[in-house]
Chains A and B, each alone.
Chain A
């Protein structure tokens, strides 16, 4: 992958790439797809892909530009960070969106590139690059959420395979996933050192998923049951007992992506900012300012918070040296990202009043109904990927060196 150093590359040397990207995007992105979103990352499942969306996904998959900085030997784009940024700018310019996404892109791919064997990379990365294989995360268990290391799902060594038994929960998109990257226990005598990182085919006999219905009405998560599931030994990533290290690294990628560094900022600028919604629903005073003074103040606070966060993400990118990758500082980012996401949704609901609390049926616009669901769904962002409290523990212990209670 490209290093951070080339973030500083002068823009004019990228002109040729910009021309190439612009021409290719114009030839391959159907303008009718503007305003759609990436089906791979949608919580409503993978079935919503139209023929035009499929064509766009396949084109980007062939080009490797859905994961622009991944190495070309596994189908990635092989672009530098600077080129990837140009690509993003050119996509934003014509309203094109990235059809390749999901957990494979955000978390599993980067982790496998780092820890996987050559054989595992060849086997799994191309399917992620092309958006053809959906991955889900088998981490949390009913008795091991925030205290993840107390997980109990057991993988028993049977010589040529593991026999897996146990239950996972909050398996995002588990009902639609093809494969699962899971943390399992291979040694009951040690807490952290007894955990291994295992790849499980969701089609295997003995895997069962049961969707969990949420307060937003959606069922993006599952309970996942493993009953005598046979998993080949070749599906172990890294060494037996190295799972905690690998799993933690993956969580850093997760926090990094959940902090909103890539997609959400772009979506926020797509035209429906909080001040714009407020002007539409609440009106303006004689000077053209937002009519409700208290709300105006709170909206400004939110907008400034968001601006400071954007500057911080940019600073973090510039400061990242060489192979540093995601660090404990991603805990800071995750918490701020969660706070801003939730503030935005709360403000929008408040601005829209009763109109922003519709559940279904007539009398509400599509945006209004989406707003209700977005608000409720958003309550999860300070819980999943390690709750804000857990992130604060990480910050206190790993960054600030504050010790555990003795």
Chain B
């Protein structure tokens, strides 16, 4: 855990308690089985708005708390532990993009509503199945056209922060915007969003687009950290109670060493993720490198832990009734989102001139 201040410790503990009690994995399972809708529980989202989490990276003058990205990461980590389905990550990062952007109108119109949780927002950047920052969408005469694939929380979003070839734009749901759901393995909201001459307001140039994508990758890594810790903890608990060959599984050295290896990787993951969030808050010039490190390490580690969770639970791990599959499927989606490990390793190499 990074060196947290008193506010951050309180925030983390509160998020942990809320997620454990009010939004446990069972709640996500129920939501999944119900299907359809916006992809999240409106009551849970309303509670999140009331607690101020949607405003953590929004300036105080617009109704936020400006606690910063490390604080947002702490909350998302706790939600990730419980696979909580909320549009918090997408709304917070989109709001942060609006706050960083140059449009006073967008700021005053949208930020207070996003901070309170009254509205949700999301990023619409990628145009293909992977994250490569190749962007073809165009803007002409204040109208944006293009198709964005796999927009997270796209089903319920009130406003989109959209990447065009020349920079970042704000497009409200409505005129010229078509949302088509894409049902995916993680049972969360993903949509293909088509913009046809949709009224768009410019927020910033391509540098802002990249900065926003980096923030999205960093908070995704924070959610992945929570998932990895939770998957690891559940696996450890299982090994401590499951008896085979007349022995508790946790007494077998072969299994002990696999768990020790995972714990080691989790330590590195936490450092890399918190390092990226702190770099963003400090406004450091190497945020790009810190983010690529965090996402690559997060991808590798969550992949290891989520796959081992299934394997070490044996047949139980293969059943839908048990939670391992939920972790496995969400992990795979988050690995692909905002850049897989290869993308970030390659980028890290380029940034360092290797």
Q: Is A379 an interface residue (CB 8 A)?
A: no
B297 touches A315 (CB 8 A): no
Task: Say which residue of A296, A391, A397 sits within 8 Å of B349 (CB atoms).
Answer: A296
A211 nearest CB across to chain B (Å): 34
Task: Say which residue of B240, B251, B259, B271 sits within 8 Å of A315 (CB atoms).
Answer: B271
A393 touches B3 (CB 8 A): no
B1 touches A319 (CB 8 A): yes
User: Using Cβ atoms and an 8 Å threshold, which residues of chain A touch B260?
Assistant: 391-393, 395-396, 400
Assembly CA distance A395 to B258 (angstroms): 11
B253 touches A289 (CB 8 A): no
**Which residue from chain A places its CB closest to the CB of B350 in the assembled complex?**
A289
Q: Is B136 an interface residue (CB 8 A)?
A: no
B270 touches A315 (CB 8 A): yes
Assembly CA distance A119 to B350 (angstroms): 58
Assembly CA distance A30 to B54 (angstroms): 58
Q: Is B2 an interface residue (CB 8 A)?
A: yes
Task: Say which residue of A288, A314, A332, A403 sits within 8 Å of B263 (CB atoms).
Answer: A332
Task: Say which residue of A290, A335, A405 sits within 8 Å of B264 (CB atoms).
Answer: A335
User: Using Cβ atoms and an 8 Å threshold, which residues of chain A touch B264?
Assistant: 332, 335-336, 395
Task: Say which residue of A303, A315, A336 sits within 8 Å of B274 (CB atoms).
Answer: A315
Q: Is B203 an interface residue (CB 8 A)?
A: no
By secondary structure, the B interface counts as helix
A297 touches B345 (CB 8 A): yes
Of residues B263, B269, B297, which shows the largest number of chain A Cβ atoms within 10 Å of its Cβ? B263
User: Using Cβ atoms and an 8 Å threshold, which residues of chain B touch A396?
Assistant: 253, 256-257, 259-260
B289-313 interface (Cβ within 8 A of A): 293, 296-297
Render B243-258 as a binary contact track against A, CB cut-off 8 A, 1 for contact: 0000110111101110
A406 touches B3 (CB 8 A): no
Q: Is A399 an interface residue (CB 8 A)?
A: yes
Q: Is B352 an interface residue (CB 8 A)?
A: yes
Q: Is A304 an interface residue (CB 8 A)?
A: yes
Assembly CA distance A307 to B255 (angstroms): 28
A406 touches B345 (CB 8 A): no
Assembly CA distance A400 to B253 (angstroms): 13
User: Using Cβ atoms and an 8 Å threshold, which residues of chain A touch B350?
Assistant: 289
Q: Assuming the A-B contacts A275-B354, A300-B348, A318-B2, are A402 and B268 also in contact, with contact meaning beta carbons closer than 8 angstroms in the complex?
A: no
Assembly CA distance A248 to B122 (angstroms): 53
Task: Say which residue of A289, A318, A397 sits within 8 Å of B354 (CB atoms).
Answer: A289
User: Using Cβ atoms and an 8 Å threshold, which residues of chain A touch B346?
Assistant: 300
User: Using Cβ atoms and an 8 Å threshold, which residues of chain B touch A319?
Assistant: 1, 3
User: Using Cβ atoms and an 8 Å threshold, which residues of chain A touch B259?
Assistant: 395-396, 400, 402
B271 touches A303 (CB 8 A): no
Q: Assuming the A-B contacts A335-B264, A402-B250, are A393 and B256 also in contact, with contact meaning beta carbons closer than 8 angstroms in the complex?
A: yes
Task: Say which residue of A297, A315, A336, A402 sits within 8 Å of B239 (CB atoms).
Answer: A402
B232 nearest CB across to chain A (Å): 9
Q: Is B135 an interface residue (CB 8 A)?
A: no
Q: Is A8 an interface residue (CB 8 A)?
A: yes
A185-222 interface (Cβ within 8 A of B): none
User: Using Cβ atoms and an 8 Å threshold, which residues of chain B touch A311?
Assistant: 268, 271-272, 274-275
User: Using Cβ atoms and an 8 Å threshold, which residues of chain B touch A275?
Assistant: 352-354
By secondary structure, the A interface counts as helix
**Which residue from chain A places its CB closest to the CB of B250 in the assembled complex?**
A402
User: Using Cβ atoms and an 8 Å threshold, which residues of chain A touch B236?
Assistant: 400, 402
User: Using Cβ atoms and an 8 Å threshold, which residues of chain B touch A10?
Assistant: none
Q: Is A329 an interface residue (CB 8 A)?
A: yes
**Which residue from chain A places its CB closest to the CB of B269 in the assembled complex?**
A308
Render A289-324 as a binary contact track against B, CB cut-off 8 A, 1 for contact: 110000011011101110111011011001100000
Assembly CA distance A27 to B192 (angstroms): 68
Assembly CA distance A395 to B261 (angstroms): 9
Q: Is B60 an interface residue (CB 8 A)?
A: no
Q: Is B17 an interface residue (CB 8 A)?
A: no
B244 nearest CB across to chain A (Å): 13
A317 nearest CB across to chain B (Å): 10
User: Using Cβ atoms and an 8 Å threshold, which residues of chain B touch A297?
Assistant: 345, 349
Q: Is A20 an interface residue (CB 8 A)?
A: no
Of residues B250, B259, B264, B352, which shows the largest number of chain A Cβ atoms within 10 Å of its Cβ? B264
Task: Say which residue of B256, B261, B270 sits within 8 Å of A402 (CB atoms).
Answer: B256
**Which residue from chain B places its CB closest to the CB of A288 in the assembled complex?**
B353
B247 touches A399 (CB 8 A): no
A332 nearest CB across to chain B (Å): 5
User: Using Cβ atoms and an 8 Å threshold, which residues of chain B touch A308?
Assistant: 268-269, 271-272, 293, 297
Interface residues of A (CB under 8 A from B): 8, 275, 278, 288-290, 296-297, 299-301, 303-305, 307-309, 311-312, 314-315, 318-319, 329, 332, 335-336, 389, 391-393, 395-397, 399-406
Which 10 interchain pairs have the tightest Cβ spacing?
A: A396-B256, A311-B271, A395-B260, A392-B260, A312-B271, A402-B250, A308-B268, A300-B349, A405-B251, A392-B257
20 extra interchain contacts, Cβ-Cβ under 8 A, other than A299-B354, A309-B271, A400-B236?
A278-B354, A290-B349, A297-B345, A300-B345, A303-B352, A304-B297, A307-B293, A308-B297, A315-B270, A315-B271, A319-B3, A332-B263, A336-B264, A389-B257, A391-B260, A392-B256, A395-B260, A397-B256, A402-B236, A402-B250
27 A-B residue contacts at CB 8 Å? A289-B354, A290-B354, A296-B349, A299-B349, A299-B354, A301-B345, A304-B293, A304-B296, A311-B272, A311-B274, A312-B267, A315-B274, A332-B263, A332-B267, A336-B264, A389-B257, A393-B257, A396-B256, A397-B256, A399-B263, A400-B236, A400-B256, A402-B236, A402-B239, A402-B259, A403-B248, A406-B248
